[in-house]
Structure 1
Amino acid sequence: MAKTQTSRGRSQDRAKVAAGQDEVKYEAKKEGVPKDAVKKAVKRAGNSRKKIETELGRH
């Protein structure tokens, strides 16, 4: 029996920033900062989108 898909997993996934090119590029464009700044913020703050946005907001 197939498991019913819920949106719970998707919303949890949106709360994270993967270190892949696409997500870093998106976050850099959204915040108006270079991609390198986003990568450094991911290393410092972890992959939580809120923490990264806070980290980027400091600079």
Structure 2
Amino acid sequence: LSHAYLNTQECSQHETLLKLNQDACILYSLKYRSLMQYFFVLSNSFFLHFPYFSINMM
């Protein structure tokens, strides 16, 4: 009985670790996406303020 309990405990620990890993990946991707959006908005506003630079860079 104790051996069976030990096996279920190991399984649940592995699932918990997997869940934590997935959560970390989702959190990281959301952070990365918001960072990319921030830079995109920043670059757009820069080119709108300085159209001369944007023409030269193209």
| TM-score computed with the length of structure 2 as normaliser | 0.29
Q: Larger % of helix: which?
A: 2
Larger relative CO (CA 8 A, sep 6+): 1 or 2? 1
| TM-score computed with the length of structure 1 as normaliser | 0.29
Rg larger for: 2
